[in-house]
Structure 1
Amino acid sequence: MLKLHYNLEKVSMGLVVAIIVAASIGGIVEIAPLFRIDETVQLPEDLRPNTPLELAGREIFIREGCYACHSQMVRSLGDELDRYGPYSLAAESAYDHPMLWGSKRTGPDLARLGEKYSDDWHVAHLIDPRAVVPASIMPAYPWLMRPLDTGLLRDGLATLARLGVPYDEAQIAAAPADALAQSRPDSTEAEGFIERWGEEIALRDFDGDPARLTEMDALVAYLQSLGRLTDAPYRLMAAEEGAQ
């Protein structure tokens, strides 16, 4: 076998062909299941898409490279279930473009982070991580207290709607106003937000400064939504535990 490989390396075109064949087989194995994903992945009835403010926070999460150190994928291993909670389901990421499962864990997995810590904790942690976790190696993000630009939110929701995310016309049209309303529960716009998005979604000032809408508001709103877009993983884990 080694001799065959050695001889193949001496024939450059043969090696190129062999690489193409091997890569093609691997590509087909990975891509083929995607053609039947609608049959194999069933969306939970209670799955909701991100609100405009959460979506803005998700874009900031990507922009700042947070995904490079934090995965959003709990594996079905005992120690991970004990630490993080129910393992991740493909259906949870059905509305994610791009999905942020990942495998890199310089920091902990965030798939079940939502409502685990208070908003104040997240704000303090993002501004100065070591003030909250002394051993943390996470960089500080004090600039997130700057105003949030909502100018592209309407276009962002419209684009995702074309990709199959169930945003309706009213939600798309009101995206900038709803981003502001989600962080101001006492505002006149809050009632419209509830009508479009429901009463179960967090409606509060996230960054501790109700006078303005900031990138911190958006990022904390997104972090608090992680693992909270559907109860399906928790129901499935409870059913599996009950069957044992």
Structure 2
Amino acid sequence: MLRLHYNLERVSMGLVAAIIVAASVGGIVEIAPLFTIDETVEMPADLRPLTPLELAGRGIYIREGCYACHSQMVRSLADEIDRYGPYSLAGESAYDHPMLWGSKRTGPDLARLGSKYSDAWHVAHLLNPRAMVPASIMPAYPWLTETLDTGLLSDSLAALARLGVPYAPEMIAAAEADALAQSRPDSDAAEGFLARYGERPALRSFDADPSRLTELDALVAYLQSLGTQTDAPFGILTERSQ
């Protein structure tokens, strides 16, 4: 084997050809399974897309680099399931563009974070992490109290719809209004929001100030949605425990 490699190094074109072959084999191994992804990945029947407000929060989550310290993927290991909950299914991320599974855990995994803490806890934690977790090394995000810019939400929903996320035309058209309505349950627009997204998404003022829509509202709404878009993982865990 060493002699073969030595001979390849002496013949540059042979070395180039060997590199191409090796890279091609690796590429085929990674790419080929994607051709059968529709058959191997089961889409949860109850999977719902993110609401406009949750989607805006996801954008802030990505903008602030939260994914660099927090994964959103529970592995199928007993200690992970005990700590975080049911292991992650590929189908859960079918509407995520890009997906945020990751492997970095400077902070805990967030895949099952939804409803684990109150909105008030999240708000306090984002504004001053050490007030809630004294040993935390997470930075504070005081600028999240700024007003949320909803101007591109319709375009975002339209782009995701082209990628297969089930946003109907009326959802796209009402994206800005629905983002505001989700944080104002007593408003007239809340009825339209419920008609388009149903009762599963949380409908409330996430930062406890319904007079204005802030980036805190959006990010907390997104964090509270994690692990709540489908019940499929919880169903599998229940079946295996019986």
Same-fold call, TM cutoff 0.5 = yes
Letter in 2 for 1:41: V
| Matched length | 242
1:10 Cα deviation from its structure 2 partner = 4.5
After superposition, what is the alpha-carbon deviation per residue over 1:32-56, rounded to whole angstroms, capped at 9, x for unaligned? 1111111111211110000000000
- 1:1-244 alignment to 2 at 5 Å? 1-242=1-242
CA gap of 1:10–1:161, structure 2 versus 1, over 3 A, is same
What secondary structure does 1:76 align onto?
A: coil
- Which deviates more, 187-196 or 19-28? 19-28
CA shift at 1:9, angstroms?
Answer: 3.8
1:62: Cα distance to partner?
Answer: 0.7
CA distance in 1, matches of 2:12, 2:70: 41
The 3 A distance-change label for structure 1 pair 2 and 45 is same
TM superposition shift of 1:144: 0.7
- Structure 1 distance, partners of 2:123, 2:6, is 58
User: Residue 115 of structure 2: SS of its match in structure 1?
Assistant: coil
SS at match of 2:205: coil
Distance 1:122 1:88 in 2: 23
Q: Deviations over 1:208-227 (max 9, x none)?
A: 22110011100000000000
CA distance in 2, matches of 1:176, 1:148: 11
Whole-angstrom distance in 2 between the partners of 1:174 and 1:143? 27
Calculate percent identity across the aligned residue pairs: 79
Q: CA deviation at 1:140?
A: 1.0
Shift of 1:131: 1.0
- What is the CA-CA distance between 1:2 and the residue it aligns to? 3.3
Structure 2 CA distance for partners of 1:4 and 1:42, relative to 1, 3 Å: same
- Which amino acid letter does the alignment assign opposite residue 95 of structure 1? Y
Q: Secondary structure of 1:217's partner?
A: helix
Q: Which runs of 5+ in 2 are unaligned?
A: none
Distance 1:219 1:206 in 2: 9
Normalising by the residue count of structure 1, what TM-score does the alignment of the two structures yield? 0.96
1:5 CA displacement: 3.1
Alpha-carbon RMSD = 1.2
Q: Deviations over 1:124-175 (max 9, x none)?
A: 1111111111111111111111010000000110111111100101111100
Q: Which amino acid in 2 is paired with 1:39? A: E
Change (3 A) 1:17 1:229: same
